[in-house]
Each structure stands twice: as structure tokens, then as C-alpha cells.
Chains A and B, each alone.
Chain A
Amino acid sequence: MRSPPPAPVVVLAGARAAYGGREVLSGIDLTVRRGERVALMGRSGAGKSTLLGLIQAQIPDRVALVPQAAALVRTLSVFHNVYMGRLDRRSTLHNLRTLLRPARADVAEVGAVLARVGLSETLWAKAGALSGGQQQRVSVARALYNGRPVLVGDEPVSALDPRQGEAVLAELAAGHETLVLALHDAALARALCDRIVVLEAGRIVLDAPAGEVDPARLQASFEAP
């Protein structure tokens, strides 16, 4: 007897989005189930970021977000930037205290998360002083520390080399139940995700298990028509 499919986490039916009257997404039907790892692919401007925004907006309380720009506070330390992933689950008093004098337990916990993305030695550096790739890993660490079950990532490894990227994605997969990632590296997507969704001009043109997607066709979806 087959087990019933896992519960859906996000259900979009006929979803659409427009910026200033210009339609960026239309007729989007997408159901993401618990435990799925979805890679969202397509040319830039196809609507990936907007679709991720819709997903995040539907279940804000269950999402850990890795936004496209690392969105770090440059004047705060790496520790504080990662700690921000759980601001909403601590008392304001504790948060304010942490700004001045972090608790040892928090430091240890954040340090462990940073070690998973290979950044443990920069705990007290100012985020603004890091390289682009390091900043992106801090952003990933913030989402890992946030720990909510659905990870929504917008090109979370775009500034990393392929091997680092693969390691970071593996950490994300280990730390979160469900993944929805915008990616541009087809090989990485096929290796780490079990489902591939391709967007073109605001519509879904392909939605298939990763194993069934023809690599050549996937590659073609990025090249100029």
C-alpha cells in the first residue's frame, strides 16, 4: 500500500503579481509538499524572485529566508547578524542585552552554525568588512540559525565557487525540512534538488522530478532565445 503524499506546505493556484501595472507572474499553479527540495530556474527577469516572495508572504512564520542581496547590517558583527535570525523568538530585553553583552550560550550556538558554513573564525568581524562570498555565507548562516522548516533562498550560493556552493547547499538541506531555491547552476540543481521548476516570462514552463529533466533542455532554458 502506498503511503499518502506528505502534506502541502505552500499552495499557489492561479497566482499572479505585477509591479506598477506590468505583469511579472501570471497563472502560477504550484504546490510544494513537506520534504520536497525544489529548484526554481529561469533567465533573470523570469520572475523567480517574485515567486519566492509570494511563497514567503504566504507562510511567513514557517520560512527561513536567504534574500538575494545578503541584506546584512554592515555595522554589526557577524555574530549579531546571525543572531538576528531568531530575534522574534527571544524577549526584547534579551535581544537588547545581546547587543551589548552576548550570552555565552548564544555565542556557542551561533559559532556552531557559522562553523557549518566555514566561517567560525570571523565571529566578531564587522559584516561590512567581509568579502562578498563571506557575506553570502553569513546570510545563509542566519537562515540556518533561524531554523524554520521551509528554506526559501534566492540564489543563496551565487557568490561561491561550485564546491563551496555544494557544501553550503548540503548544509541547508540538512538543516531545513523543505527547500525552495532559485538557482542558476543546472548541475547543482540536479544534484541537490528532487524537483525542478522552470519559469519563463512569468509562467511555469516546466515542472518535473529532477531525474526526469533533460540536462540539455534545462541548459537551453537559460540561453537567449
Chain B
Amino acid sequence: MRLALPSPGYRGVSGGFAVAALACLSVADLHVTTLHPLAELTRFLGGLIRPDFPAVEAWGVAYTVAFAVLGVGLGAGAGLLIAIPFARSRGVRLACAALRSVHELFWALLLMQVFGLSATTGVLAIALPYAGICAKVYSEIIEEADLSALRVLPPGTGAASAFAYARLPDVAGRFADYTLYRLECGLRSSLVLGFIGLPTMGFTLESAFRQGRYAEAGALLLVFYGLIGSRRLWVRRWSVPLLLAGAVLALPPAIGHAEVGPSLVRFLTHDIVPAPLRTGEGTLPALWAWFRPILTGQILPGTAQTLVLAQIALVATALGALLLFPLTARRFAGPVGRPFGRVLLVAVRSTPDYMLAYLCLQLLGPSMLPAIIALSLHNAGIVGTLMGQHADAIPYRADAPRGMNLYAYETLPRLYGQFLALLLYRWELILRESAIFGILGVTTLGFYVDAAISELRLDVAVVLIASTALLTVAVDALSRRLRRSLRINDLPVRLSGPPAVARGEAVGA
């Protein structure tokens, strides 16, 4: 009786993901191993209510901002240049995909082997993946730009004038928006780099959490929220050169490694070369004998755990977003409730998920549960914010229903394509983070990377990181394919690219 749904359809995809997540739940380790998780949580919340601001180290804050500003500055600058050949050259696209498929923390772990715990490591760990991301997004922005003005320019107009008059004005605002959003991400990345030893706020946060100095941790967190929340005030057109110059001056001196040249050479020609090749036994059987245990003992189980974690977190994100987005939509939260909903979602999404996972791990003990909670809270905050904006842009008819009826019959059906687009887009990001959470002790790919690096088996670490990158690229390709077959691949999915209604206010800043 019903018309056949075009395969795979919204329902098919949603159902498939939900069933897969249920299957994953049955194999995931979800135990709470701490004795008093609630008591710990109360103490942590107490720290947020009574923060110890004098304990916050000013240099930690300065380094956090400096790494973020320089990393994003370099990354965005390089990204802008790469964006020009991006659409034409397949090689450039592949190189960018490789750059961004490796997480900042993995970059940092590798760079550390060459540059030590230095500013160079911190800045490059942010700049390298961000260059890949920025190149892709800038190139998309250029392609989406309105070209009608370009077409009516008098024939014979020079390329530079044409770009400056007919392209740049339309594109510049969106570049600025996106770069500002990247800076927000850069601040989170910079903080998280502290967790593996760089001198940013994450370093003190980690020791404060570990030693239960919750008042200090609360103060650090509030300062960090303040930094992110006030970014539109301190990142202005006139302040950008000052920030860049200040960041260079504020960089910490290098620790350890004084000679970069020799250590870079050793890293490239010795450390990351597969062990059999190093000892001169470069035969295929020898290589296979070296690779096989890595594949069966690390890559395959790590990949399975990474996929399991990402699948559960993705579906939990979906459910969280469906619950949260009405809090920020006018029709549901009302003029009084909406600001509170916004603050809640901004706080949730400003918290770096790695830090959230670390915190949950302290509260709940080592299992997959902390990682799932952290990933789904952070991402539900992001997806919820965007859905709320889209919900407010819907032109409801004058006699539209209210409450649950409005949600189920008008809002959700209209937003569902958008919702799936957002989730499929975040799938890859969730997967990247899932791999990284291995550093915290979940046995995803990052766990094995971390172990290989601490055993100084860098050749193994590089193979593992490359497998992670391949997995990310594969999931991204699958996600893109699903989006295309659902015909939702050109819906807006970027946090910085607000829907039509919000754009007016965003460009002004």
C-alpha cells in the first residue's frame, strides 16, 4: 500500500545505525569501577562553584592562547594558499585528507620525537591538521560563493580586480567566520595538548584533576570558558596582528632537544623505518613477519574497539541532540528558557571532549563508558545548537500545533534530513576522537599508538597512525556516500556556517 521508500531512506539509515549501536553495546565494556562516582562528581562541581582563581597560572593561559593563535594562523594561512589549487588537483586533495585524518594529539606525539616538548611541537601539531581542514573548507566556500556579480563584470576585467570586487567581498566574511571558529577549536586543541605534557592549561588541569585539587581545576575551566566565550571581543580585525606578534613573543623556550636537524634526520631515516629494513633484512617475508603481529594484535582489535566506541557515541549523540535542541529553539523553550538552553549548550560544546573523557574517567573508572559520555555530550551540544538554529528558521504556518505535536509532526520531519547530514558529518570526527581516547586507556587504536611510542617503537606507531588515518578516510567516504544517496550532501553542516537567518549577525563580528 505504501510507496516504496528510495533505498536506503531516512528510516533505513536511522534504523541501521541504531541496530548497529545496540549490537556494539552488547560487546562494549561499560563497567563503573570507582567506588563513589557521585561523591567525586559532587566534589568536582563544588570546585566549579568555589573556584580558586589565584591558583591559575597566567603563563599556562598565555601559552594556550599563543599555541592556538600561531597554530591556527599558520594552518589557516597555508590552507588559504592550498585552497586555490584544491578543487583542481587530486594530489592536493589527497595530501589534505592525509593531513587532517591524523589527530592533533597524534601529530604532537610524533613531532615530540623531533622537536621535544617545545613550542614548535605545539604549534605544528595544530597547524598541520588545520591546514588540511582549512584548505578543504575554504575551497568549498569559494565554490559555494555567489558568482552572479562575477558574470556581469565588463569583459576584459583583470583577474585580480575580478577577484577583489566580485569574489572576495562575498567570501571574506565567511572566511573570517570560519577562521574564528577554527580558533575556538584551536584553543580546545591547545588545552588538550597539555594533557600529553606541553605547557598549556591542560597540563595543570591534568595534575589538578589527578590530585583532586578541584577548586583549581574549576578555576582553570572557568577561565577557559571565559576565553572561548569572549573570543569575539578579543579577536578583531585590528587585534589579529597584535595577537600573532604577542603569541610569538610569549612562546615558551624549548625543553630538551637543542639540535633539531640531526634529530629530524634520525627520525626520518631511522626511527620510523620498519625494523626489518633498518637491520638490512628487507625481504618480504621478514617484513610480513614484522607486520603480522601488529596487524592481528593491534590494528584489528584496535580498529574494532574504535568502531564500536564511535558507533555507540554517534547514536548517543543523536539521541542527546534530539533531546537538547528544543532547549535552544524559540517555539519550545520560549523567550525565557532559550537563553538558559543556549548557555548550557555552549558550555557543553566548549568543553574539549578529550578533557571531558579524562574527567569522566576520574569519576567512573576505566571502561568505555567515560569515552561514550564525553563524546556524546560534546557532540550533542554541537548538533543541538545547529538544530536549534534551523528549527527557528522554519516558517511555521499560523495555525501550527504546539509542544510535542509540533515537535513530532512539523519540526522533526522538516529537520530530519538536516539532522542526518549533521550526524553523518560528525561520524568521522567522532571516529577520530574515539581513536585518540585510547591514550586515556580505552583499547582503541590510540591505546596501541601510545604504547608503541612509550616503548620507542616509532615504526610501529607510524603504521598504527596510518591505519587510523585510513579508517578515518574510509568512514568519511562512506558518510559522504550515504549523504549523497539520501540527497542531503549539500545541506549546511559546519558550525561556523550558520543557516541563512543567523548569518547576518555572525558576519558583523
Q: Which A residues are closer than 8 A to B by beta carbons?
A: 53, 56-57, 60, 63-65, 67, 69, 71, 73-77, 80, 84, 87-88, 92, 95-96, 99, 124-126
User: In the complex the two chains form, what is the Cα distance from A96 to B405 in whole Å?
Assistant: 8
State whether A74 touches B414 (Cβ < 8 A). yes
State whether A80 touches B409 (Cβ < 8 A). yes
Interface presence of B155 (CB below 8 A): no
Shortest Cβ distance from residue A155 to the other chain B in the assembled complex, whole angstroms: 14
Which interface residue of A53, A64, A65 has the most chain B CB atoms within 10 A? A65
Shortest Cβ distance from residue A74 to the other chain B in the assembled complex, whole angstroms: 7
User: In the complex the two chains form, what is the Cα distance from A65 to B405 in whole Å?
Assistant: 17
- Given A88-B405, A125-B3: A65 and B413 within 8 A (CB)? no
- Given A76-B409, A92-B404, A96-B408: A124 and B397 within 8 A (CB)? no
Which residues of the partner chain A approach B10 to less than 8 Å between Cβ atoms? 75
State whether B414 touches A73 (Cβ < 8 A). yes
Extra pairs beyond A56-B399, A75-B413, A125-B3 (20, CB < 8 Å)? A53-B398, A63-B399, A65-B397, A67-B399, A69-B395, A74-B414, A75-B414, A76-B409, A80-B409, A87-B401, A87-B409, A92-B403, A95-B404, A95-B405, A95-B408, A95-B409, A99-B409, A124-B1, A124-B2, A124-B3
User: In the complex the two chains form, what is the Cα distance from A124 to B404 in whole Å?
Assistant: 23
Which chain B residue shows the least CB distance to A139?
B397
Interface presence of B417 (CB below 8 A): yes
Which chain A residue shows the least CB distance to B402?
A88
User: In the complex the two chains form, what is the Cα distance from A200 to B414 in whole Å?
Assistant: 36
Q: Which B residues are closer than 8 A to A by beta carbons?
A: 1-3, 10, 395-399, 401, 403-405, 408-410, 413-414, 416-417
State whether A73 touches B399 (Cβ < 8 A). no
User: In the complex the two chains form, what is the Cα distance from A67 to B397 in whole Å?
Assistant: 7
Shortest Cβ distance from residue A172 to the other chain B in the assembled complex, whole angstroms: 16
Which residues of the partner chain B approach A53 to less than 8 Å between Cβ atoms? 398
User: In the complex the two chains form, what is the Cα distance from A94 to B410 in whole Å?
Assistant: 16
Which chain A residue shows the least CB distance to B1?
A124
4 cross-chain pairs, A with B, having the tightest CB-CB distances, nearest first: A71-B397, A87-B405, A87-B401, A65-B399
What are 12 A-B pairs at a CB distance below 8 A?
A63-B399, A65-B397, A71-B396, A73-B414, A75-B413, A77-B2, A84-B401, A84-B410, A87-B409, A99-B408, A124-B1, A124-B3
State whether A75 touches B397 (Cβ < 8 A). no
Which residues of the partner chain A approach B408 to less than 8 Å between Cβ atoms? 95-96, 99
Shortest Cβ distance from residue A122 to the other chain B in the assembled complex, whole angstroms: 9
User: In the complex the two chains form, what is the Cα distance from A99 to B404 in whole Å?
Assistant: 12
Shortest Cβ distance from residue B33 to the other chain A in the assembled complex, whole angstroms: 38
Which interface residue of B1, B396, B397, B404 has the most chain A CB atoms within 10 A? B397
Q: Which of A57, A65, A73, A92 interacts with B410 by CB under 8 Å?
A: A73
User: In the complex the two chains form, what is the Cα distance from A134 to B346 in whole Å?
Assistant: 43
State whether B416 touches A84 (Cβ < 8 A). no
User: In the complex the two chains form, what is the Cα distance from A126 to B9 in whole Å?
Assistant: 12
User: In the complex the two chains form, what is the Cα distance from A41 to B127 in whole Å?
Assistant: 63
User: In the complex the two chains form, what is the Cα distance from A99 to B416 in whole Å?
Assistant: 14
User: In the complex the two chains form, what is the Cα distance from A126 to B5 in whole Å?
Assistant: 10
Which residues of the partner chain B approach A126 to less than 8 Å between Cβ atoms? 3
State whether B417 touches A75 (Cβ < 8 A). yes
Shortest Cβ distance from residue A119 to the other chain B in the assembled complex, whole angstroms: 14
State whether B399 touches A60 (Cβ < 8 A). yes
Which chain B residue shows the least CB distance to A70?
B397
Which residues of the partner chain A approach B404 to less than 8 Å between Cβ atoms? 92, 95-96
